[in-house]
A and B are shown apart, each in its own frame.
Chain A
Amino acid sequence: MSDAEKKSPPKKLTPTDVLTGESPLVLTATLEPIAGDRFQPAGFPEIGHVIYKAPRKDGSTENVCIVDSAASMANHLETVCQRGAHDLDLVDALSGMPYIRCVTGALENDRLPSDKRETIVTSLTEGHRIASSYFLDGAALKPDGSKGNGKFEADLVAKFGIVLPGSSKAHPPPERWWDVFKGIFEIDPNSLVHGVLFPQWQIKIPRALTAHLEAFGAGRVDRSGVKFDRLGKTTSGQPIFAVDDATAESIRATFVIDVSLIRSFGRKKGETTLGLSEKQQEFLVALALWKVQQLLASPFRFRSGCNLRRTALKSYEQDVEIEVDIANAIKTAGLDKLPVTDVFWPRDELYREGQEAVASGGENDDGGEETGG
């Protein structure tokens, strides 16, 4: 019997076990390019790829390449929830999970019918998630398609009940937080997984799931090429371009799930549940695990020249396998009964059409940013 055959089967990771287990849960996935041995790491503005000399205990250094930043990995983990880059609907597995959409369209009798709603962004595509101005500054649509009174921000203020007038303390009292967690969970649970910041209310919820992607023993491979400009749009007709790739001895994705943070989103107090129930916390863990599973299930294209596939998944040196039934987790958390929140913006407040005026010599306004169409 070979060593591989003697190996014990991978440990199954379920949301229940993770929620009651050690915090944080650290998952380490080994990845490799699907073809060849080169890959394209993230290019940071003005500095390109970052390969730094990482010190090691024995006094040596090793070249480490940051293939993706934590923020970029969060974006990747959110894209697995959508049907595609330009199809902002949720994948079937997440059917029923609430989230927020910023929509526009022509109102009919002061109502925006469901089939006339044009989605601009969602809380899964927006960097600030639920705290984005696309949502806070818009008006939430009621189930009948009519606009609510005031901005969605006011709805949240009422739901959270956390506004502390004049306060600039970073840590509001604990008892105020239960409504915040519950409120966010019911509207956009994804924000609790990836963290959210409402600076105006001093609400800062750190990431419960953080991912990192690094390559070890990295080397830079630069190459160049020529584009043939058949349309004659360039001076030379043959613009030269440069491409930086990297090679590495190993590529490793690290996923850190801050289980203790999720556990702190709710607890029992006698018969009452403060904040999130255990099943709701379990859903957050399930969603985090499901995202990791989806990212690693098949080769994932982190960017055009960076298509990586998983070769191993470990937690603290032990082979593991994620076992999560996300559809069931949505139901048991009671999320399937909650609606998708649509926040309405009039089209002319979102888009400015090209504007034309007869020039009169320069004594007009200064062309400020708010120019209505």
Chain B
Amino acid sequence: MKVVLRQEFPLGRFHATPWRVNPYDDPHGEWPPSPWRLVRAVTARWYQWAREASPEVDVSQLERLQAALCRSTYAFHLPPGARKGSPLRQYHPTEFAMDPPNWRDVGVFARTSKVPKKGKKGQQGEKEVTEDEKKIEKQVKELKIKKLSLDIADSGRWTIEVKALKQAARDGASIERLEKILGRPTEDWRRIADAGRRSYGTSLVQDNYWCVPPESPVWWFIEGDDWTDDLRALFARCLERMTYCGRAETFTRIRVVGSAEDIPTTPNCTLVHERTAGAAPVLSPLSNATRDDIERTTDNPEAVKRTVPPGAQRLYAVLPPRPVSREHRRVPAHQSDCHLMQFAIGWNVAPDPRAIVRLTSRFRGAVLRELLRLKTGDASATWTRVGKNIRAAVADMAGKDANDEPLNGHCHTEFLAWCEGRQPTRLLVWRASRAFDADEQEAILLAAARDVSWAAAGVGSEEWKVRLVPLDREVPAPPGFDGKSSIIWESVTPYVPPRHHLRGGKEREGEAISDQIRRELLLRGVDRDVDVDLVGPPEWVSVHVPRRAANKRAFIGDRRGQMIRLRFASPVVGPIRLGHSSSFGLGLFRPVHEPDQP
């Protein structure tokens, strides 16, 4: 007779530690759930049922059920997508005992008093040790005794502690070296133990588990000659009381199913005696297992040192191949009217201010890749491979139309860097013409999930990466992006004139920096009545270069940039970004408020 069970894991996890397996060394975890575990769990729930049952039931019923389970064969239909989860680690209480004391040797040395440092007239200066004492202090410190602490009191009393850990483990060598410099302490060395309390010690344990789709059941195929309708009904009563399987984290629902249900026709996991590559060990009951075997505790002397407990056998499960899975698309809540997304820049090595464009242009490339992937569903989609309709859909992000021509009117997305103290601290994604839609926001967030390198291509780019941390929408926009006007604006990042303003070291006529700025302001529809002051000397900065030419340049900046201060005749609303690579972070300005400003 065949009994089929349907087992679900509504929380999607099966936590269990196989018998006598060290979880830290367990490459498999328990999967599928072992028949040995089922037999023991059913036994426990039989006792629970027996307490409720009226009239009272005899334990011979249990023995019949156990015998039927032990003499059966087991096969499974497992959810193919099941996978081992990231293990958890937790501290568990162990022995209840007094904390072992930490011992230390303490010696007190009376030496010369500290002398007051000269203070201002009428003030007491701080105290300091004399020059001679300083020399002795240096000698003591040069001994480099790891567990040593030194305290010099104002009275001149030197107290030295050497940590001993155990009462008997005196660090005689360290004490001897100290005494050579300091002499004997005024009293003998004292051995002191810390205060402690009685409590539980802890042990770090690992909890392995398997992840299972909550909607996909595990099917058990149990086949044996001992099953009768009565036993099947008794089995069902025990199973309906089974809330956990394995650890308490494993919430389960398990029941006997009728033939009318939609049961898989064949198992996809069988238990075999011979180990094959990739097969996972599973404990199963022996056909002659007794009630004592099944009910034996893990610390029973007969079982305690055995990897396979009496009454059980180790079989091997050949698991079904796991299909390729794709990550469930996470659609973040779409922020309406979102023109600016901000990211804090985190680093191990701070990005060089000269490399801002390299950072922003790489991030733009990552955003474009993610957006194309979202629009096409193809992970390998690139600008050159996608059709014109897709190109048109991402034109505002790319800054190019479907024909690869630059967009006009500054309606595209700009990738800017905000600096504090000349250090890039925030990356800004800004578009004035249109709010970012849901796909664009998701693409930007997905691109920010990966580190971005600011190094020149091919030169240790792995080492020079930054992390981008999305900032809450509550974080205010940087100055200049908040819609407020100002008369004075100063460079946040260097301004690079779009056209060469020098020829042979002399200013080209009509191409001075101030002329170029005024022309650009006019083109952008901003007041051109402006005084332009150069701040500090020019500096080399990297500018945006076409992709095909990006590898031809070394790390050194390509163009000279200049910090600028602008004073307009009337207040101007930002953001202001001017010059070469101004869509990639150069030439960004911030408003400055001076006391005489209206």
Contact = CB atoms under 8 A, between A and B. Distances in A.
A353 interface: yes
Interface stretch (A219-227, A299-307, A320-328): A219-227
Interface string A187-229: 0000000010001001000110010101001010111100000
A171 interface: yes
A26 B10 contact: yes
Contacts of A214: 11
Contacts of B91: 45
A267 B86 contact: no
Contact of A168 (B11, B166, B169, B300): B300
A71 B202 CA distance: 15
Contacts of A132: 96
Interface string B343-360: 010100000000000000
Interface stretch (B321-329, B384-392, B419-427, B539-547): B321-329
A366 B168 contact: yes
A254 B197 contact: no
B6 interface: no
Contacts of A364: 167-168
A359 B297 contact: no
Contact of B11 (A207, A223, A254, A352): A254
Contacts of B12: 54-55, 64
A224 B346 contact: yes
B241 to A, nearest CB: 5
Contacts of A354: 192-195
B101 A55 contact: no
A231 interface: no
A195 B192 contact: no
A62 B328 contact: yes
A27 B315 CA distance: 38
Contact of B467 (A24, A222, A258, A265): A222
Interface string A243-278: 000000100001010101101110111000011000
B172 A361 contact: yes
A46 B300 CA distance: 32
Contacts of B105: 359
B130 interface: no
A264 B192 contact: no
A50 B86 contact: yes
A127 B197 contact: no
Contacts of B167: 357, 364-367
Contacts of A361: 170, 172
B47 to A, nearest CB: 5
A222 B346 CA distance: 9
B328 A254 contact: no
Nearest to A28: B10
B190 interface: yes
Contacts of A26: 10
B172 A207 contact: no
Interface stretch (B75-83, B478-486, B515-523, B590-598): B75-83
Contacts of A352: 98-99, 101, 193, 195-197
Given A55-B213, A57-B213, A221-B469, A24 B243 contact: yes
Contacts of B125: none
Given A44-B89, A50-B88, A168-B297, A56 B328 contact: yes
A223 B469 contact: yes
Interface stretch (B49-57, B270-278, B498-506): B49-57
Given A267-B54, A353-B195, A169 B292 contact: yes
B390 to A, nearest CB: 23
A95 interface: no
A171 B43 contact: yes
Contacts of B229: none
B89 A170 contact: no
Contacts of A363: 168
Interface in A130-150: 132-134, 137
B509 interface: no
Contacts, number: 251
A128 B204 contact: no
B118 interface: no
Given A195-B248, A202-B297, A359 B170 contact: yes
Contact of B330 (A57, A63, A206): A63
A223 B344 contact: yes
B54 A56 contact: no
Interface string A293-321: 00000000000000000000000000000
Nearest to A354: B195
Interface string A325-337: 0000000000000
Contacts of B470: 221
Given A54-B12, A351-B198, A359-B170, A168 B301 contact: yes
A359 B326 contact: no
A44 B195 contact: no
A53 B326 CA distance: 10
Contacts of A64: 12
B472 A60 contact: no
Interface in B329-384: 329-330, 333, 344, 346
A369 B96 CA distance: 11
Contacts of B249: 69-70, 212
A23 B241 contact: yes
Contacts of A61: 81, 325-328
B247 to A, nearest CB: 8
B188 interface: yes
Contact of B90 (A51, A69, A263): A69
Contact of A371 (B50, B193, B323): B193
A206 B243 CA distance: 10
B315 to A, nearest CB: 23
A173 B57 CA distance: 12
Contacts of A173: 59
A219 B329 CA distance: 12
Given A57-B216, A62-B328, A206 B189 contact: no
A47 interface: yes
Contacts of B325: 53, 55, 59-61
A60 B326 contact: yes
Contact of B191 (A53, A168, A269, A358): A358
Interface of A: 23-24, 26, 36-38, 44-47, 50-57, 59-64, 66, 69-71, 127-128, 132-134, 137, 168-171, 173-174, 177-178, 195, 199, 202, 206-207, 210, 212, 214, 217, 219, 221-224, 249, 254, 256, 258, 260-261, 263-265, 267-269, 274-275, 345, 349-359, 361-371
Given A55-B12, A265-B51, A345-B198, 10 more contacts: A51-B86, A59-B323, A62-B327, A127-B93, A171-B295, A264-B51, A351-B197, A361-B170, A362-B168, A368-B100
Which 6 A-B residue pairs are closest in the complex by CB-CB distance? A367-B167, A55-B81, A133-B96, A367-B166, A355-B193, A60-B328
Interface of B: 10-12, 40, 43-44, 47-52, 54, 59, 79, 81-83, 85-91, 93, 96-101, 103, 105, 165-170, 172, 188-198, 200, 204, 211-213, 215-216, 240-241, 243-244, 247-249, 251, 292, 295-297, 299-301, 323, 325-330, 333, 344, 346, 449, 467, 469-470, 472, 474
